[in-house]
Amino acid sequence: MTRNKIVRVYFLSFLLLCVFGIATVVHAQTGGGQPLVVCGETDPTTCDFQKLYILINNIWTFLLREILFPLAILSIMFAGFKYVMARGNPGEIQKAHDVFYYVVVGIVIAFAAWLIVKAILSGIGASIDFLG
């Protein structure tokens, strides 16, 4: 590939990342479901530790659903693109395999962190929906 094509591919990837990133931020601000901060929805004096647990849960859930999944999908697409553009070059094929491997490892680490946070919150007495 020529340098010009590489620059175009990176620019297009950056543009797609920006579009997905802006959509994620807008989704967070408009409350595309349950708002992140639930403290003081009806009465500002109703803030307690349970609302803090819900906030922590909402932040983790938001990060996994709204940021990790689109980023992982884009990264897997990038790995596939690198694999196709390798055209039989073993070094480039190995780089594509490495990208895919690191995406999968990142997803596993993120979900392990999610499970640890859920276990800690459940252990200290937070009554939150474990799958939500």
Q: What is the pLDDT of residues 31-41, one digit of tens each?
A: 456 666 777 66
- In this predicted structure, the answer to whether residue 26 has a pLDDT above a threshold of 80 is no
Confidence of residue 101 (pLDDT cuts 50, 70, 90): very high
Confidence of residue 81 (pLDDT cuts 50, 70, 90): confident
For residue 112, which phi and psi values (nearest 5 degrees)? -65, -40
Mean per-residue pLDDT of the chain: 76
